[in-house]
Amino acid sequence: MTTSQIAPEVAERVHEGLNPAQRAAASHGAGPLLIVAGAGTGKTNTLAHRVAYLIASGITPNRILLLTFTRRAAGEMKRRVDALLRRVATGDERLPETLSGAKVWGGTFHSVAARLLRVHGRDIGLEPNFTILDRADAEDLMHLCRTELALGKQGRRFPQKGTCLDIYSRCVNAQLPLEDILRTVFPWCKEDAEDLRRLFVEYTDTKESRQILDYDDLLLFWRGLLDSPAGDRVRERFDAVLIDEYQDTNALQADIVALLRPDGTGVTAVGDDAQAVYSFRAATIRNILEFPQRFEGTTVLTLEQNYRSTQPVLDATNAIIAASSQRYDKTLWTDRDGGARPALVTCRDEVEQTDYVIERILGHREEGLALKQQAVLFRAAHHSAALELELSRRNIPFYKYGGLKFVEMAHVKDLSSFLRLAENPLDSMAGLRVLQLIPGVGPRIAAALMDALRDANGDFDTWVSWRPPEISVKTWPDFVGLMRNLAHAPSTDVSAQLHAARIFYAPLAEQRYDNAAARLADLEQIEMLGSRFNDRARFLAEMTLDAPNWTGDFAQPPTLDEDFLILSTIHSAKGLEWDAVYVIHAADGNIPADLACGSAEEIEEERRLFYVACTRAKDHLYVLHPLRYYAAGRGFSDRYGYAQRTRFVPDTLRPLFAESQARPTSDEADAESGGIEATTTRIREGIKAMW
């Protein structure tokens, strides 16, 4: 790492406002650095300061690689670094040139991989027009391969396509042999090892021949590139590599970091082993625990001063995580005195929980807390269904993170598939999808047409002579014309291409969907969005790799400037904070999820997840658990269960909480019938409101 000496007064300006530990982290020298940063200790801020410090000390911004967990985090980081640099530049003549759009390489492992492979892929035999399969595409491809090999037709039932992909992905990301993964994670599929092996070979071959990459390939090929003779060309690009949320990286990602900076110089990893919640994606806290062994001469710095939460909230969250066997010991403290103990609220059922949460939210808003400063968190996306319904009914605007994503909706995928096919005519997943939109064209014909296209080296002219079924004789030439135009269009004009595709697609969508108008409106939004891009491949990649945040950009109720409540899965809430946080369905079965109680490790992860949820709160924390809950999915009708409060708040921790009932206990006697009556009344009101 080539850092020139940094002037003390410049350093002082960079570090303004940091505490001593943060300061040490931000201005650390070239040796490998691990920052163990507890929740709310200013991790993001410290990392931003470190980036600014590196730039101020002479490293060119585009020689810094900043790997974050989400695109949102990347954007936030960039904003802060820019602000810092602006502050530093004041009165300094040497710096302004580095300022204008400090182009730090940033993004998720996956999106950075896509960009690097676009440039260097040829060196390892990858054409730059490769396209990327999202999760659903990958599953569908797995399914096609399974049918191809006639698996699951021998009487025994074969694992589902999603399960197959999970197994495959787990092997790749954990870098472990199939047997190990089957034995430890998917024991009920042990019998299928041989067939799975065949399936995975077929899957891999198909992807290769079609020049399509799945999520895992992006990491795999990035590592392969670094491991190849061309690896130096990638290594030479970067002087510094910083990785956020290191506790949630997997073996493959750790390999990539090590290959980027083999001796560890210039590596900065930030993370908190107490917040590791992605082991289902093969993330392993061994990466953070063993970082010092992997990189000799590592400096470990710990951030323990919490700036986020009040003392009572921190007392509770510290106690929750104390029960865990975390390895990097740290005790968070704060000087934010005062504030109330977090609330532990018992509700009779989900209706009561919903009402309670909404009342509190509105109450806080009365006191001046905007909806945006409050969030409701839950374990699984569907846990918020009842709440969403009631919020809509009461016209309380909200926005939900996690769960179904905008770009995964059928019509959005349809539209982007036109561009994907134009970008890479071998992309059979995009091709099959687009072709089957045409009436009279099903899987068989579509497959034949894609084969023909491949034989013609991707020249769409080969489709001109094909005679479609009667119903589509008119549509077909338009379609072929569209594809030819898209293929020859300058790749820069993304929104024009989207427009052309939309015009063709609109009538098909109208036939296909009963709510076509709404869907077509979405597509206009996509088109607008396309105008922000000047590169089709980049557009398509971001579309699949950075999907979640796109929803935040526009796919919401038309209230973007207005105030709205945040609903989020706990996983999607990572790294965020709100003044008031409501953790709902915090009852055994949901937290921890009964599907995740197979082993002690899994339960520990659920505990950390609960910890992550609670540590999002600055001033007000509510943990709610309905006694009676609707066990979604276990058959319909009246499958209600009686839930224990979450085991992560055992009796010993109760003094740290203010316990209450959602309704006064005096109602107990008549509450049962009263509650039910209230429900039926509400249903009737709802029906009346419909006319």
Partner DNA sequence: CTCCGTGCTGTTTTT
Partner DNA sequence: CAGCACGGAG
**Candidate residues 373, 551, 572, 646; the one interacting with DNA per rule CB under 7 A:** 572
Residues 30-69 that bind DNA (CB under 7 A): 69
Residues 504-533 that bind DNA (CB under 7 A): none
Shortest distance, position 545 Cβ to DNA, whole Å: 5
- The verdict on 444 binding DNA (CB under 7 A) reads yes
Q: Count of CB atoms within 10 A of residue 227's CB? A: 13
* Contact call for residues 246 and 271 (beta carbons, < 8 A): yes
Within 8 A by CB and 6+ apart from 52, the residues are: 14, 26, 81, 84, 85, 88
Interface pattern 625-644 for DNA (x via CB under 7 A): --------xxxx--------
Number of residues that bind DNA (CB under 7 A): 50
**Candidate residues 75, 224, 339, 439; the one interacting with DNA per rule CB under 7 A:** 439
- The verdict on 312 binding DNA (CB under 7 A) reads no
Q: Count of CB atoms within 10 A of residue 309's CB? A: 28
Shortest distance, position 60 Cβ to DNA, whole Å: 26
Which range, of 11-19, 154-162, 412-420, 668-676, touches DNA by CB under 7 A?
Answer: 154-162
**Candidate residues 86, 183, 281, 294; the one interacting with DNA per rule CB under 7 A:** 281
Shortest distance, position 114 Cβ to DNA, whole Å: 9
Return d(Cα 482, Cα 418) in angstroms, integer.
Answer: 9
Return d(Cα 424, Cα 128) in angstroms, integer.
Answer: 10
- The verdict on 382 binding DNA (CB under 7 A) reads yes
- The verdict on 552 binding DNA (CB under 7 A) reads no
Shortest distance, position 466 Cβ to DNA, whole Å: 12
Identify which of residues 110 and 620 has a Cβ nearer to DNA in the complex: 110
Residue 214 exposure: Cα atoms within 13 Å on the Cβ side: 23
Q: Which two tokens stand for residue 49?
A: 């300061």
String of DSSP letters for 249-266:
-BHHHHHHHHHHSTT-TT
- The verdict on 310 binding DNA (CB under 7 A) reads no
Shortest distance, position 656 Cβ to DNA, whole Å: 26
Instruction: Calculate the alpha carbon distances from 107 to 68, 227, 469 in Å.
Output: 6, 22, 46
Nearest alpha-carbon partner for 28 in 257, 327, 297:
297
| Strand-pair partners of 305 | 333
Residues 201-260 that bind DNA (CB under 7 A): 215
C-alpha angle with apex 293: 292 to 298, nearest 5 degrees? 30
Return d(Cα 396, Cα 504) in angstroms, integer.
Answer: 37
**Candidate residues 135, 198, 454, 647; the one interacting with DNA per rule CB under 7 A:** 135
**Candidate residues 292, 440, 458, 481; the one interacting with DNA per rule CB under 7 A:** 440
* Contact call for residues 622 and 278 (beta carbons, < 8 A): no
Residues 158-187 that bind DNA (CB under 7 A): 160-163, 169
Task: Say if residue 508 is exposed, middle or buried (CB neighbours under 10 Å; 0-12, 13-18, 19+).
Answer: middle
Shortest distance, position 669 Cβ to DNA, whole Å: 34
Identify which of residues 83 and 389 has a Cβ nearer to DNA in the complex: 389
Return d(Cα 181, Cα 171) in angstroms, integer.
Answer: 6
Which range, of 74-82, 205-213, 551-559, 593-601, touches DNA by CB under 7 A?
Answer: 593-601
| 3-class DSSP state of 302 | strand
Which range, of 33-41, 55-63, 156-164, 501-509, touches DNA by CB under 7 A?
Answer: 156-164
Contact set with DNA (CB under 7 A): 69-70, 108-111, 135, 143, 152-153, 160-163, 169, 215, 277-278, 280-281, 379-382, 401-403, 436, 439-446, 448, 545, 547-548, 569, 571-572, 593, 595-596, 633-636
